Chains A and B, each alone.
Chain A
């Protein structure tokens, strides 16, 4: 079981194809589901058009809180691995700012874990976003 947290300056690049490896590159033969959720910056914030979002992370608390949350979700849902990537700084419309990669034996726990992780992240993790209006 593994957890990996990455706070990255600017937009996220393409996702890694983990295949049968977990986020630490270890081969795990019991992986039956890999679920990757990506958050993309929308052009509309409410009714207003934006150019980008500016993300501000309070470190090291942001990374520590993400790691604690990921470990908690990993254990409670019996997952194989969780990898979290979150942007800091400027991310333009259409670019990715967040990626959650979950690996598990079956799809059900991966889907439930993804939903719970994002809900709790939006309450507890000290990351703020501000719209940059057009």
Chain B
């Protein structure tokens, strides 16, 4: 299935996009999305492997299952204030 991951801030500018689509198994868990992102961008492999993903606007365990209809967002390099 295809999962769309929203990205923000400096990372979005660097990659010139606001969303990354990755193809993962239909039984995928959150950590599989991390790994798929890392495989798609080898130069940023470490960042994507360890990045926190929010699913439907909440931080989620890497072991949580994921669905194609979920809203997934990469929440890294934040810096409010």
Contact = CB atoms under 8 A, between A and B. Distances in A.
A130 interface: yes
Interface string A92-105: 00000110000000
A124 B77 CA distance: 9
A35 interface: no
Interface in B39-81: 54, 57-59, 73, 75, 77-81
B80 A86 contact: yes
A118 B75 CA distance: 17
A64 B57 contact: yes
Contacts of A98: 80-81
Contact of B81 (A56, A58, A118, A126): A118
A130 B13 contact: yes
A128 interface: yes
Given A58-B8, A58-B73, A61-B73, A127 B58 contact: no
Nearest to B10: A130
Question: Looking at chain B, what size class is its interface with the partner chain?
Answer: 10 to 19
B81 A122 contact: yes
Interface string A50-62: 0000011110111
7 contacts: A58-B75, A86-B81, A122-B79, A122-B80, A126-B73, A127-B79, A129-B80
Interface of A: 39, 55-58, 60-62, 64, 86, 97-98, 118, 121-130
Interface of B: 6, 8-10, 13, 54, 57-59, 73, 75, 77-81
